[in-house]
């Protein structure tokens, strides 16, 4: 890499960066700025707020902070993120990656075949995943989930009607395991085997190796995964909207659905933008952590 020395080079750099930065600026940065601006107005898609939107100060934020259903949506998102992503995806994804990883005295067969199969839930488009699970969670006796629990004499359960949140959590575990697996597999593959070999000579048990050697070594990658999955799971929309539209009632109205409803069902663009800004503030805290982790790679 070398510093820019002539105006021709300066022009080249500028010309090459502009198209990419213009697109990101227009469709990613500008919406954020615009969300902040609109959050101080009563802009709407119908009625008074559509014809003549005007500045209303912090009113949207005041209403949001008194809006029980907004808090509830944050709470649901937190539950969704914590149970499906932080707990289940992390543990199960790590378990699979650990079993498939090659270590001294541990090498399973069919590793890449397993890895390909495990990748499928994430590889299919969101809507196909949702449609597949719509049938799995069919409330009649014929739904596959009900046939499965029927083996234990339980059910049938109206999954998407009575236990919608639980069902969505199961679905998101299914969809998120592959991402955890890929990240952890890469982390495990990059750990040196010498330490493990040495510890075996010292008589360390498999459990001790995992606790004392492997886990401490891949700590940064575990942290990276926790951050990434928290951020992406917080932003989930399609899977939930496809299956329940946030219902029944408000039962699965996570933050993303709440914002969509405010903006496109109640046409309250200003109010929806304010909710989006609060969501971004939460994510920004996580994002700063993410950037700190990645800083050394620039």
Enumerate residues 103-132 that contact other proteins by CB under 8 A: 105-106, 108, 114-129, 131-132
Among 88, 96, 160, 169, binds other proteins (CB under 8 A): 96
Q: How far is the CB of 57 from other proteins (least distance, A)?
A: 19
CA atoms within 13 A on the CB side of 17: 7
Please choose, out of 2-10, 54-62, 79-87, 154-162, the segment that lies near other proteins by the rule CB under 8 A: 2-10
Q: How far apart are CA 173 and CA 135, in angstroms?
A: 17
Q: Does 263 bind other proteins (CB under 8 A)?
A: yes
User: What does the chain come to in residues?
Assistant: 298
Q: How far is the CB of 13 from other proteins (least distance, A)?
A: 5
Read off the DSSP letter of residue 214: I
Q: How far is the CB of 56 from other proteins (least distance, A)?
A: 16
CA atoms within 13 A on the CB side of 30: 7
Nearest to 160 by CA among 151, 148, 169, 152: 169
Which residues inside 142-161 make contact with other proteins, applying CB under 8 A? 142-144
Using CB under 8 A, count the residues that bind other proteins: 121
Nearer to other proteins, 15 or 57 (CB): 15
- Reduced to 3 states (helix: H, G, I; strand: E, B; else coil), residue 50 is helix
Which residues inside 217-236 make contact with other proteins, applying CB under 8 A? 221, 224, 228, 231-232, 234-236
Among 99, 166, 215, 223, binds other proteins (CB under 8 A): 99
H-type helices in 245-268, by residue range?
255-264
Q: Does 199 bind other proteins (CB under 8 A)?
A: yes
Nearest to 216 by CA among 192, 181, 245, 182: 192
Nearest to 237 by CA among 266, 276, 281: 276
Among 57, 153, 192, 203, binds other proteins (CB under 8 A): 203
* Binding flags for other proteins, 15-54, as an x/- string (CB under 8 A): xxx-xxx-xx-xxxxxxx-xx--x----x-----------
Nearest to 173 by CA among 165, 161, 163: 165
């Amino acid at each position: 890499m070398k510093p820019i020395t002539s105006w021709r080079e300066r022009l080249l750099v500028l010309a090459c960066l502009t198209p990419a930065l213009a697109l990101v600026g227009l469709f990613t940065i500008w919406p954020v700025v615009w969300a902040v601006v609109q959050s101080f107005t009563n802009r709407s898609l119908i009625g008074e707020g559509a014809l003549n939107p005007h500045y209303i100060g912090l009113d949207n934020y005041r209403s949001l902070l008194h809006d029980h259903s907004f808090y509830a949506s944050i709470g649901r998102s937190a539950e969704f993120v914590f149970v499906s992503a932080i707990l289940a995806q992390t543990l199960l994804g790590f378990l699979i990656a650990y079993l498939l990883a090659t270590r001294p005295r541990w090498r399973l067969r069919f590793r890449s075949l397993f890895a390909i199969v495990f990748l499928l839930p994430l590889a299919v488009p969101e809507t196909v995943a949702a449609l597949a699970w719509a049938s799995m969670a069919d409330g009649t006796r014929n739904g596959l989930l009900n046939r499965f629990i029927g083996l234990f004499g339980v059910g049938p359960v109206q999954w998407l009607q009575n236990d919608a949140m639980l069902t969505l959590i199961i679905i998101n575990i299914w969809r998120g395991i592959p991402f955890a697996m890929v990240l952890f597999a890469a982390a495990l593959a990059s750990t040196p085997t010498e330490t493990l070999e040495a510890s075996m000579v010292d008589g360390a048990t498999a459990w001790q190796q995992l606790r004392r050697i492997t886990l401490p070594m891949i700590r940064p990658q575990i942290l990276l995964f926790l951050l990434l999955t928290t951020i992406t799971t917080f932003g989930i929309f399609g899977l939930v909207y496809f299956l329940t539209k946030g219902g029944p009632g408000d039962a699965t109205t996570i933050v993303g659905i709440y914002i969509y409803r405010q903006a496109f069902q109640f046409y309250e663009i200003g109010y929806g933008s304010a909710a989006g800004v609060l969501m971004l503030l939460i994510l920004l805290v996580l994002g700063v952590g993410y950037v700190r982790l990645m800083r050394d790679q620039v």
